[in-house]
């Protein structure tokens, strides 16, 4: 992956913050190593597995949770181990997210995607249709308006499958750029005939995260391992954005009034 930063020995200072922000804006994705403690990730995984096991097939169907072969997206109640600032407002990431989405950013959705053993490649897709479809130049000039933070709850290996990402596909290429192809034509081509030769396939470990611009072309890869492969996602957005596209049957964010009181006052605006 062209855009990758290890945060273990290098917290984002103002210089590296602007480098990280430039990198993300150029490639539409960024792999950040060593953001979270592994113990915390292991705790989240246990808690997720318990909650997921309690969901019946009928409940999953009523949530319209299937997002691919043996792959489910479930909104998670923000409570227990998930109701911690380290999870939803991590100190190492918030300065970068605020730089990219403004200090008014909010959590647009919060949950997990789990690929079960044997899950096939997910259809290659965009998470949201373009905001200004048909407006010339909009996909070239608009800054990011929503960003998915993906936090794998297991070590990602080739066997478990990762998310294939087409770096740079969040923006329309300049016409004179080598190999320039309209991004929607590219998406259609990839949807019809999946070809991963131009995709990057990060292999993050527990504690890492990767960010994806909401406009970037991507798709989850097959899980050829014997274990579930859950990834936590938190989508951060500019304050005006509401995701009506992905959440017809389950809420994008689930946090009760009681749980919201446990969120430090200065962070509550994230859940407005």
Residues that bind ligand AKG (CB under 6 A): 67, 71, 73, 113, 115, 122, 127, 163, 218, 220, 231
Question: Helices 94-101 and 14-27, interaxial angle, to 10°?
Answer: 60
Q: What angle do CA 21, 26, 32 make, to 5 degrees?
A: 50
Q: Nearest CA to 72 among 249, 196, 255, 258?
A: 249
Residue 10 Cβ, how far from ligand AKG at the closest point, in Å? 26
Nearest residue by C-beta to ligand AKG?
220
> Which residue, 3 or 163, is less far from ligand AKG as judged by CB?
163
What six digits make up the tokens of 34? 């060593």
> Which residue, 99 or 145, is less far from ligand AKG as judged by CB?
145
Residue 38 Cβ, how far from ligand AKG at the closest point, in Å? 20
Residue 82 Cβ, how far from ligand AKG at the closest point, in Å? 18
Any idea how long the chain is? 272
Residue 221 Cβ, how far from ligand AKG at the closest point, in Å? 7
> Which residue, 30 or 115, is less far from ligand AKG as judged by CB?
115
> Which residue, 39 or 157, is less far from ligand AKG as judged by CB?
157
Query: Is 206 within 8 Å of 232 (Cβ atoms)?
Result: no
> Which residue, 231 or 253, is less far from ligand AKG as judged by CB?
231
| Residue 185, burial from CB neighbour count under 10 angstroms (0-12, 13-18, 19+) | exposed
Give the Cα separation of 181 and 173 in Å (integer). Answer: 7
Biggest CA–CA distance in the chain, Å, is 55
Residue 89 Cβ, how far from ligand AKG at the closest point, in Å? 23
């Amino acid at each position: 992956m062209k855009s990758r930063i290890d945060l273990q020995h290098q917290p984002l200072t103002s210089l590296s913050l602007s480098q990280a922000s430039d990198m993300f804006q150029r490639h539409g994705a960024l792999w950040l190593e060593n953001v979270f403690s592994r113990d915390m990730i292991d705790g989240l995984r246990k808690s997720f597995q318990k909650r997921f096991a309690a969901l019946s097939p009928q409940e999953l169907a009523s949530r319209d949770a299937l997002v691919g072969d043996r792959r489910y997206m479930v909104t998670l109640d923000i409570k227990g181990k998930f109701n911690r600032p380290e999870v939803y407002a991590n100190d190492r990431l918030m300065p970068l997210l605020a730089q990219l989405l403004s200090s008014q950013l909010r959590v647009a959705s919060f949950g997990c995607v789990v690929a079960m053993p044997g899950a096939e490649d997910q259809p290659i897709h965009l998470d949201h249709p373009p905001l200004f479809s048909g407006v010339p130049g909009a996909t070239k000039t608009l800054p990011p308006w929503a960003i998915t933070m993906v936090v794998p709850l297991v070590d990602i290996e080739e066997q478990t499958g990762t998310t294939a990402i087409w770096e740079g596909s969040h923006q329309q290429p300049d016409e004179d750029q080598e190999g320039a192809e309209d991004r929607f034509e590219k998406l259609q081509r990839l949807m019809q005939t999946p070809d991963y030769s131009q995709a990057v396939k990060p292999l993050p470990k527990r504690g890492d995260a990767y960010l994806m611009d909401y406009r970037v072309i991507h798709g989850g890869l097959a899980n050829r391992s014997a274990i579930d492969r859950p990834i936590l996602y938190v989508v951060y957005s500019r304050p005006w954005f509401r995701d009506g596209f992905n959440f017809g049957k389950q809420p994008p964010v689930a946090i009760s009034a009681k749980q919201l009181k446990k969120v430090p006052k200065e962070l509550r605006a994230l859940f407005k």
